[in-house]
Amino acid sequence: MTFTEPTMLETIFALLCIIVVTLIGFLANGLSLQITITNSQFQNAYGTLRTAVLLCNTQTISVMLIWGAIVLITNSRKLSSSEYFVALIPGCLANVSFYGSILMNLLIALNRYCAFAFPIKYHGFWTVKKARTVGIIVYFLGFLPCFPSIFGKHLVSCSSEVNYLCNVLPKSMRQNKPCTLIFNAELDFRWSYSDTNCGYINSMFDTTLTSSMLIIAGCIDFITLLKIRNYNKVTTLSSKKMNKSMANSTNHKQEMVFFKQASTDTLELLDEVLCNLKFVHFQSCIGGFTMIVSSLVFNIGPHFLTNKWALFAVTTIGWEMAHVSDGDNGAKNASLVQFSPKMISSALSEAIGSQMLTNAQRNGVIHDIL
C-alpha cells in the first residue's frame, strides 16, 4: 500500500516523535554505558559484553534518527527508493546492530549460567579478551543477511550475459529490486522490507531469529535462577546440620555461638542476594519479551494495519522503544551491582565455596553473574 504525500505538519510530528524516543534511548543506554565503562567492577567479560550490547543499541537508534531526519527534512523520494544504492545502507546498518544486540544478549545469559555452574573454571572460559573477540565476530555476522538483500539487484540482473541465473532463481530475485529495509518507502514514516518474496523471507528471518535467540536466552536465565535457588537450599541445609551437630557437643559452646551468628548473617545475605538476582533476571526477561513483541508487530503488523500512524507506531517507534527498554534494564542492573557489591560478594562467596576462590576471582564471578 502507498499513502498520499504527507503534509508538512505530519512530517514534523513524525520527526519529533523519532527525536524524543531517540533522546530517551540515548539517556537510558548512555547512563548504563557510563556505569559499565567507569566502574571497575565491570572490567570483566560481562562488562565487555554489556558494553557491546549498549553500543549496538546506540548504533541502531542513531541510524534511525539520522537517516529518518535526512529523509523527512529533504523530502526526497530518491532517498526512500530501493533503486538508489545509498538508501539501502542505513537499513543494513540498523539491522546489523539489532542482530548484534540480540546475539550478545544470548551470550550474556550464557555468561551468567557459567558463573554459577562453573564458578572455579569460569575465568578460564570467560576472559575479557575472549569476550571482546566473540563480540566483534557476532557483530560482523550481522552483515551476512544484508549482503544478498543489498547486492541482489546487481548480482541477479537478467541480462543476456547471466541469463542462466534467471532460470534457477525465484521470480522475486529477478525483479531487480533489493529487499533490505527502506525508510519511508510508502510515505508512512516506517521502515519496511520490499514487497517481494525476498522481502517476506527477510521479515520472517527477523522474527524467527529474534524470537528463538531470546527464548533460548530466557531458558538459560531460568536454569540459572534454579541454580541460585539450589545454592540457597544447600547452604540452608548444611547450616542446619552443622548447627545440630554443634548443639550436641558440650565442649564447643564458643564455636557454636560463633557459627550460629555467622550462619545467620550468611543466610540473611543470601536471601537478599536471591531477591536482587530475581530482580535482575526479571528485568532481563522483560527486555527479551519487549524485543520479541517488537519484532512480531514490526513484521506482522503491516499485514493487518492500514492506518499510517498505527504502522508508524508499531514499526519505527516500536523498534526504537525495544532498544530504549534494553538500555534502561541495563542501567537498573548496573546500578544494583554498583550500590551493593560487598553484600553480594560476601553472600555468594559462601554459597559457591569461598575457600576455593581468591578475592579477585570471587568478585569477578559475582559481578559477571549480574
pLDDT per residue as tens digits for the range 205-226: 888 999 999 899 988 888 887 8
- pLDDT computed for residue 17 by the predictor: 96
List Cβ neighbours of 261 (8 Å cut-off, separation of 6 or more): none
Closest CA to 294 of 330, 322, 328: 322
Q: Report residues of the chain scoring pLDDT below 70.
A: 1-3, 149-178, 231-283, 328-370
Q: What is the secondary structure of 52-111 as a DSSP string?
A: HHHHHHHHHHHHHHHHHHHHHHHT-SGGG-TTSGGGGHHHHHHHHHHHHHHHHHHHHHHH
- pLDDT computed for residue 191 by the predictor: 92
Strand partners for 182: 192
Joined grid coordinates for residue 38: 567507569
pLDDT per residue as tens digits for the range 171-189: 544 555 667 888 988 888 9
- pLDDT computed for residue 199 by the predictor: 80
- pLDDT computed for residue 90 by the predictor: 93
Q: Domains of the chain, with CATH numbers?
A: 8-369 (1.20.1070.10)
- pLDDT computed for residue 248 by the predictor: 57
- pLDDT computed for residue 315 by the predictor: 92
- pLDDT computed for residue 235 by the predictor: 58
d(CA 298, CA 80): 18
Strand partners for 191: 183
Distances (CA, A) of 21 to 8, 43, 91, 298: 20, 30, 18, 17
CB 73 within 8 A of CB 30: no
Which three-class secondary structure state does DSSP give residue 143?
Answer: coil
- pLDDT computed for residue 115 by the predictor: 78
- pLDDT computed for residue 59 by the predictor: 95
